[in-house]
């Protein structure tokens, strides 16, 4: 099972002028094996939703619930969320000088599984994951995120996704800054993850182009901290043609 349920979620962020409400009642269920795309204009709160699910300390949940297979996610620590089966790429966006990609992945895998992976199969798995993502085997020896290009950061994210094998993945702007070849490689990785079955994916993106490679079952349009519209994949095609104008115009009147 892998069911992520977000119900009437309200979130505020601490700013210099005090708390600011960003999410104003978000309700969304990602059922077993479903891929949901969240699209929307810049500043609409998409990343805030991702950070809130991840348990980022800057974001305060002021109302609503988030559960994974019925377990209360909001009362879990960041580590507990990962162990429960949530993958949030932006959990580790920082540079970790002196920690190699290989060691980082092994530490993360050990923390999530509660035991260290068997070395022989692990090395094979890591090398296979890097290769499939068109990353050089020496990538494993580099310090995490230190001097990574935008594309390398995203490929590293997807390597984590494949190796850590969560139940539900929240991917925020996984497509940003990728050229077309990298976009295909990264999308293939997400699709390999999906093909394991029962996996939930919440794909957050401003642009429609990644949805040509990763097919969503549902598309939600996020405007001003709320879902303004939802539909099937055809909604993404419509957004590609029309942009977000009609939502943002009505939101500012
Ligand atoms: P999106 O990902 O859709 O572009 P965000 O969730 O990043 O939107 O931001 C939504 C709104 O919340 C924006 O107005 C942004 O300025 C504000 N915001 C988000 N995080 C912070 C923060 N840490 N401090 C202050 N304002 C924030
Ligand atoms: Mg933004
Ligand atoms: Mg964002």
CATH of the domain at 161: 3.40.50.300
Residues 6+ apart with CB under 8 A from 114: 83
Q: Is 45 in the pocket of ligand 1 (CB under 6 A)?
A: yes
Owner of token pair 């990763």: 214
Residues 6+ apart with CB under 8 A from 108: 82, 92, 160, 164
Residue 250 pLDDT grade (very low, low, confident, very high; cuts 50, 70, 90): low
* Number of DSSP helices (H) and strands (E) in the chain, helices first: 8, 12
For 202, list phi and psi in degrees, rounded to 5.
Answer: -110, 110
Structure tokens at 235: 């909604």
Question: Average pLDDT in the 102-119 region?
Answer: 91
Q: Does the structure show a pLDDT above 70 at 93? A: no
Expressed in angstroms and rounded, the spacing between residue 113 Cα and the centre of ligand 2 is 33
pLDDT on residue 175? 84
CA distances from 223 to 23, 36, 103 (A): 10, 16, 40
Contact 223, 252 (CB under 8 A): no
Residue 90 pLDDT grade (very low, low, confident, very high; cuts 50, 70, 90): low
Owner of token pair 């702007």: 173
User: How much of the chain, in percent, has pLDDT values that exceed 90?
Assistant: 72
Contact 31, 200 (CB under 8 A): yes
As a whole number of angstroms, the distance between CA 13 and CA 183 comes to 31
Q: Does the structure show a pLDDT above 80 at 165? A: yes
Question: Average pLDDT in the 180-191 region?
Answer: 94
In the DSSP assignment, the letter for residue 176 is T
Give the residue from 123, 202, 124, 120 showing the smallest Cα distance to 161: 202
In the DSSP assignment, the letter for residue 44 is S
User: How much of the chain, in percent, has pLDDT values that exceed 70?
Assistant: 96
Expressed in angstroms and rounded, the spacing between residue 224 Cα and the centre of ligand 3 is 13
Q: Does the structure show a pLDDT above 80 at 97? A: no
pLDDT, tens digit, 9 for 90 and up, residues 113-141: 999 999 889 999 999 999 999 999 899 99
Residue 249 pLDDT grade (very low, low, confident, very high; cuts 50, 70, 90): confident
Whole-number average pLDDT of the chain = 91
Q: Is 138 in the pocket of ligand 1 (CB under 6 A)?
A: no
Q: Is 22 in the pocket of ligand 1 (CB under 6 A)?
A: yes
As a whole number of angstroms, the distance between CA 124 and CA 169 comes to 23
Q: Which of 45, 88, 226 to mutate to test the pocket of ligand 1 (most atoms within 8 A of CB)?
A: 45
**Higher model confidence: residue 222 or residue 248?**
222
Residue 246 pLDDT grade (very low, low, confident, very high; cuts 50, 70, 90): confident
Contact 13, 48 (CB under 8 A): yes
Nearest CA to ligand 1 atom 19: 48
Q: Does the structure show a pLDDT above 70 at 251? A: no
Give me the number of domains the chain comprises: 1
Q: How many CB atoms neighbour CB 97 within 10 A? A: 9
- Beta strands (DSSP E) in the chain are 4-15, 18-30, 35-39, 59-68, 71-72, 86-88, 96-100, 143-144, 168-172, 200-205, 218-223, 226-231
pLDDT on residue 188? 96
Q: Does the structure show a pLDDT above 90 at 149? A: no
The residues facing 169 across adjacent strands are: 87, 201
Question: Average pLDDT in the 15-28 region?
Answer: 95
Q: Which run of H or of E encompasses 52? A: helix 46-54
Residues 6+ apart with CB under 8 A from 121: none
> 216 is in which domain, residue-wise?
4-252
């Amino acid at each position: 099972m892998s069911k992520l349920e977000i119900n009437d979620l309200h979130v505020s962020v601490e700013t210099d002028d005090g708390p600011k409400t960003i999410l104003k009642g978000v309700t969304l269920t990602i059922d077993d094996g479903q891929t949901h795309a969240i699209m929307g204009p810049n500043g609409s709160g998409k990343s805030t939703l991702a950070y809130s699910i991840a348990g980022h300390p800057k974001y305060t949940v002021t109302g609503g619930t988030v559960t994974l297979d019925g377990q209360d996610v909001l009362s879990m620590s960041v580590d507990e969320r990962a162990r429960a089966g949530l993958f949030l790429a932006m959990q580790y966006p920082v540079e970790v000088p002196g920690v190699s990609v290989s060691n980082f992945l092994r530490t993360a895998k050990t923390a999530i599984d509660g035991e260290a992976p068997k070395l022989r199969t692990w090395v094979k798995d890591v090398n296979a994951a890097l290769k499939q993502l068109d990353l050089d085997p020496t990538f494993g020896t580099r310090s995490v995120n230190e001097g990574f290009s935008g594309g390398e950061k995203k490929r590293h994210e997807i390597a984590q996704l494949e190796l850590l094998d969560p139940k539900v993945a929240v991917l925020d702007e996984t497509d940003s800054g990728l050229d077309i070849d990298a976009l295909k490689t990264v999308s293939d990785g997400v699709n390999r993850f999906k093909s394991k079955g029962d996996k939930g994916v919440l794909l957050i993106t401003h642009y429609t182009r990644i949805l040509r490679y990763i097919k969503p079952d549902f598309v939600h349009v996020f405007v001003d901290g709320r879902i303004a519209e939802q539909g099937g994949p055809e909604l993404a095609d419509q957004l590609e043609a029309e942009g977000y104008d009609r939502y943002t115009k009505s939101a500012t009147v």
